[in-house]
């Protein structure tokens, strides 16, 4: 494994300009790679798509689902009982079913984790989507040059990682691994 310096760009044109500058600065074509990073939750890492088999926070929403369904069913049955003159003997049953569904929805929504949609419940920095340009930096001087160039070219979220770039591909890139952002001072 080697040190990799990477920066995110919003546009392909920015990546192409940065790649050209890195090659002019002495980095070889084999040391530089670029690719698009999907938004959190859309990395297609499981057989059914997405990043995880179950969405983060689903455990909490199931808990709220059960509580909301029971409470909604009781309230709905009570209201359905009042509707016996209109609905007949099925009033409490219809009321309980409708109330349970409304309670399920309210309960699950109230228990969901508020993580800004990132799936990141640990409060760690997460990798934002966009074009990622990564440079294999095999020594401290190469690291410094890559960081300076990415800063000058307005790369965002410049990070340092350990990994392998071979044949123009960051082979062990993990989109779910929180980035180790480089101090921008």
- For 65-82, write each residue's pLDDT tens digit: 455 556 655 665 566 566
Distance, in Å, from the CA atom of 75 to the CA atom of 100, rounded to the nearest integer, reads 8
Does the CA dihedral 79-81-85-91 come out positive or negative?
positive
Q: Is 154 left (phi over 0), alpha (psi -120 to 50) or beta?
A: left
Helix (H, G, I), strand (E, B) or coil at 157: strand
> Band of the pLDDT at 24, cuts 50, 70, 90?
very high
Residue 138 has pLDDT above 50, yes or no: yes
Distance, in Å, from the CA atom of 113 to the CA atom of 95, rounded to the nearest integer, reads 30
Distance, in Å, from the CA atom of 144 to the CA atom of 108, rounded to the nearest integer, reads 48
**Overall pTM > 0.95:** no
> What pLDDT, on a 0 to 100 scale, did the predictor assign at position 167?
84
Give the burial class of 33: count Cβ atoms within 10 A of its Cβ; 0-12 exposed, 13-18 middle, 19 or more buried: buried
Residues 6+ apart with CB under 8 A from 93: 77, 80
What percent of the chain stands above pLDDT 70?
52
Per-residue pLDDT tens over the stretch 101-134:
565 555 555 555 554 444 454 555 678 889 999 9
* Alpha carbon distances (Å) from 54 to 21, 37, 112: 42, 21, 13
């Amino acid at each position: 494994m080697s040190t990799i310096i990477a920066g995110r760009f919003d546009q392909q044109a920015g990546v192409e300009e940065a790649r050209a500058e890195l090659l002019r600065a002495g980095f070889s074509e084999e040391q530089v790679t670029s690719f698009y990073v999907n938004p959190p939750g859309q990395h297609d890492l499981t057989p059914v798509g997405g990043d995880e088999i179950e969405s983060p926070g689903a455990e909490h929403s199931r808990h709220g689902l059960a509580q909301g369904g029971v409470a909604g069913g009781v309230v709905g049955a009570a209201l359905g009982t009042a509707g016996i003159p209109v609905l007949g003997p099925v009033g409490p049953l219809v009321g309980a079913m409708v109330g349970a569904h409304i309670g399920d929805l309210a309960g699950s929504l109230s228990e969901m984790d508020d993580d800004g949609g990132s799936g990141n419940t640990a409060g760690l920095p997460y990798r934002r989507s966009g074009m990622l340009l990564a440079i294999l930096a095999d020594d401290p001087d190469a690291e410094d040059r890559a960081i300076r160039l990415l800063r000058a070219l307005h790369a965002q979220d410049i990070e340092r990682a350990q990994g392998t770039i071979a044949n123009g591909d960051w082979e062990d890139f993990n989109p779910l691994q929180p980035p180790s952002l480089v101090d921008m001072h």
